[in-house]
Structure 1
Amino acid sequence: MIIIRAIAFLLHFTIIPVALGRLITYKQTDNKDSAIATYIIGLFGSFAIFYVLCSLLEWHQYWNTFTEPFTGCFTALCIAYSVVIAILLIVWMIKDKAVIKASVGKIKKWLSEKLNQIKANKFLGIYIIAFVAMLVVQLYFAFAYEINEWSYDDYDYVVNSQDTITTDTIAYVNYVNGEMPYTAEKRAVTAWPTYIAYLARVSGFEVTTVCHTILPVILLLIAYLVYYHIAKFIFKDYENRFIFLVLFSVANIFGLHSHYSSTFRLLGAIWQGKAVLTTIAIPFITIYLFEIYKEKFDKHKIMPLMMVSLGAASLTTMAALLITLAVILVWLVMGIYLRKIADLRYLIASLFGVIYLVIFYVLMSTLISDMQSYEKSFFKRGRNINWWYKWFG
């Protein structure tokens, strides 16, 4: 039974991101995105789909809240998201049938090429072994020791996810006393704690097990995939890429000196939304923008940018600031590099998630204000005029 639960969990970080990444980048004209970029695009694409469904059902939940709690929306979200993902997986298998069949041969060919490179350059093999050894050490401590790492934010993150499952609601419970509805805007407009609850529901694992044992290992591997992608962008030579990763790993291992160090988010509490944002999303968005700004404009790059931006924005409200700073800084740097105004279409697409987050925040804040006020409300709602509540509430 535990194997089935583990497979159900791992699907969301293996096959599903690959399938969505392929679908999102399917029509690109240059087909230059690496396998890592396609995977990360698909991963954040899955977060983006979940965020849209979560925000719609959460709005429905709060909209139909009057005197008693309105429950059932988390179950509806789990069903809706699972159905959408299942449909997209079927579409991918139909569209990418030839590529799927040829993938085994391509993987064998790729492995053969890499082994030949290692045989031709002994130092490359040494650097790879050194990096893998340090990565294994980090993964071991992530799996075996982060179960004891209770960050000062876990009283909110982990409890929020558990309350979502227990009460069958979305961002609705006071994590201190269990009161419903609890209307905190910054929690209501992010989807990451709800996504963790979804993973726990699907797999049957406890929320604390998901956060403190499983996710640290998976997210750390994904983070290093992004860092290799960065190394690939900076260095053409494989030897230099792995030297970079070795030095980067050493810096990370010895940089975890306090809860305020930059590497704390990577090796201390990576399961938190702001950690995923700063260690995975922002580095990938930054390097991906550098890559596409250098090339001729491709309208099919717009969708990947929008999906990554929206998926990153779903993690935490800090995304509104950090994504904006990152994409504008890259846009300015590339404008100087290209000696012209960098493409504004890419800039707008990369800010799509921020725009969605801000609009959702304003709407939720207004609705919550209406719920807490006895005076004239901005939104006109009530038991008699909310058709859904009237018939199904």
Structure 2
Amino acid sequence: MIIIRAIALLLFFTVVPFAVGRLITYRAKSNLISEYLVGFFGNLGIFYILFAFYNWAQIWKTYTDPVIGAFTKLCRMYLIVIAVLIVLWAWLDRATIRKSVNILKTELERYISSVKKDKFVFIYSIVFAVLFAAQLYFALGYEVNEWSYDDYDYVVSSKDTVSSDTLTYINFIDGTMPNIAEKRAATAWVTYIAFLSKVSGFEVTTVSHTILPVLLLMVAYLNFYYIVGVLFDELDNRLIAMILISMAYIFGLYSHYSATFRLLGALWQGKAVLTTIAVPFLVVYLIEIYAKRVETRYMLTIAAVSLGACSLTLLSAFFIAISSLIVWVIMCVYHRRIYGIRYLLASLVGPAFLGVFYAMLWMLQQDMKNNEYKYFEFRKYGK
């Protein structure tokens, strides 16, 4: 039974991101790693849109008594959408799926060829494998003991979501409901962890402190390899860069406020995923796309990453917007003209969605507090 539960959870870090990524990039093909990462955040973006709908409906229906059942409805609808997308991907991408074994064989042959050309490639591979294995061991064995000051909110909120069948609806201090904080209700990462717990049957604390650190660490290093792949063509240079990145993170675990702590200390938190995976990937991905001729087909991929990143934490609105603007300015200087407005607008989809959703929640909360119905006057008629 535990194997079946583990497979159910792993699907959302393997098949689902890859299927979503291949569909999103169907007319904007790239390499497999970037397609996976686009799918990883695109999947979170899909969940975020559904979450926003059901969370808004739940809060809108709340007058005095709690409204139960939103979490179950969200999970069912999300699973239906993902199932449809997987079937669609399996049909549209059936030729590539049939060739997957040959693709892996080609990559293996390319690696063997690099080793024959330069024996140090094998040595670098062993060194990186040892460093990466050590970090995985640390993530599996030690992050379970890392209870930061945020966990009394994040993990408890995820647990309350499962036990109450509601969405960010309970006061995480005294357990009363309905209790809605715009800061939590505007983002979906806490609820996504609750979904992973529900679909797999593992406890929220197990998912947060044991499973997610390992899986997200793999995603993070896949992202790092994508970045060094953009910077370097030769495999030996890429492996050297990965070794240096590993050493920097291992010996940089010195503060609760450093990016190194977020990777190896509390990777299950939304702001950790944002700073260690989402922002680095978005910046490099944007630079890579801006360097090409501007094409509308890339707007969907950029918007998907932006929306998924903004589902993680309220800080995403600032980090994603600022990062996108900085990259746009740099690329305008590079091209010596105003360049890629369409890409800039696509990269701001996530911050715009989060900002509007937060503002609507805040206005609804104000109406619920004083019964003046200043922002949604027709709500007082029960509509």
**TM-score, length basis structure 2:** 0.98
Measure the CA separation in 1 of the matches of 2:349 and 2:198: 30
Measure the CA separation in 2 of the matches of 1:340 and 1:226: 30
| 2:263 matched residue in structure 1 | 266
Off by >2 Å, runs of 4+ in structure 1: 374-377, 380-386
- Does the 8 A contact of 1:226 with 1:280 survive in 2? yes
| Aligned positions of 1:1-393 closer than 5 A | 1-28=1-28, 31=29, 33-381=30-378, 385-386=382-383
- For structure 2, the residue ranges without an aligned partner over 5 or more in a row are none
Kindly state the Cα deviation for residue 373 of structure 1 after the two structures are TM-superposed: 1.0
Kindly state the Cα deviation for residue 219 of structure 1 after the two structures are TM-superposed: 0.3
- For structure 1, the residue ranges without an aligned partner over 5 or more in a row are 387-393
Kindly state the Cα deviation for residue 163 of structure 1 after the two structures are TM-superposed: 0.3
Measure the CA separation in 1 of the matches of 2:380 and 2:16: 40
Letter in 2 for 1:309: S
Relative to structure 1, is the Cα distance of residues 198 and 220 closer, same or farther in structure 2, using a 3 angstrom cutoff? same
Kindly state the Cα deviation for residue 384 of structure 1 after the two structures are TM-superposed: 5.8
Kindly state the Cα deviation for residue 372 of structure 1 after the two structures are TM-superposed: 0.8
| 1:390 matched residue in structure 2 | none
Q: Deviations over 1:134-154 (max 9, x none)?
A: 000000010011110101100
Q: Deviations over 1:168-216 (max 9, x none)?
A: 0001100000111112111010000000000000000000000000000
- Does the 8 A contact of 1:63 with 1:381 survive in 2? no
Measure the CA separation in 2 of the matches of 1:18 and 1:348: 25
| 1:389 matched residue in structure 2 | none
- Does the 8 A contact of 2:115 with 2:122 survive in 1? yes
Q: Deviations over 1:39-83 (max 9, x none)?
A: 000011110000000000000000000110001000000000000
Measure the CA separation in 1 of the matches of 2:238 and 2:91: 36
Q: Deviations over 1:19-56 (max 9, x none)?
A: 0111001112xx3x111100000011110000000000
Measure the CA separation in 1 of the matches of 2:148 and 2:66: 30
Letter in 1 for 2:20: L
Measure the CA separation in 1 of the matches of 2:308 and 2:91: 25
Kindly state the Cα deviation for residue 382 of structure 1 after the two structures are TM-superposed: 5.2
Q: Deviations over 1:284-323 (max 9, x none)?
A: 0000000000001121101000110000000000001101
Letter in 2 for 1:209: T
Q: Deviations over 1:233-292 (max 9, x none)?
A: 111121111111111111100100121222011100010000000000000000000000
Measure the CA separation in 1 of the matches of 2:56 and 2:269: 23
Letter in 1 for 2:366: S
Give the alignment's Cα RMSD to 1 decimal.
1.0
Measure the CA separation in 1 of the matches of 2:71 and 2:32: 33
- 2:259 is paired with a residue whose SS is coil
- 2:219 is paired with a residue whose SS is helix
Kindly state the Cα deviation for residue 342 of structure 1 after the two structures are TM-superposed: 2.0
- 1:306 is paired with a residue whose SS is helix
Measure the CA separation in 2 of the matches of 1:375 and 1:39: 48
Measure the CA separation in 2 of the matches of 1:289 and 1:242: 23
Kindly state the Cα deviation for residue 381 of structure 1 after the two structures are TM-superposed: 4.9
Kindly state the Cα deviation for residue 383 of structure 1 after the two structures are TM-superposed: 8.2
- Does the 8 A contact of 1:118 with 1:124 survive in 2? yes
Q: Deviations over 1:333-372 (max 9, x none)?
A: 1111111112100000001000000000110000011111
Q: How many residues align?
A: 383
Relative to structure 1, is the Cα distance of residues 365 and 113 closer, same or farther in structure 2, using a 3 angstrom cutoff? same
Letter in 2 for 1:46: N
Measure the CA separation in 2 of the matches of 1:264 and 1:177: 30
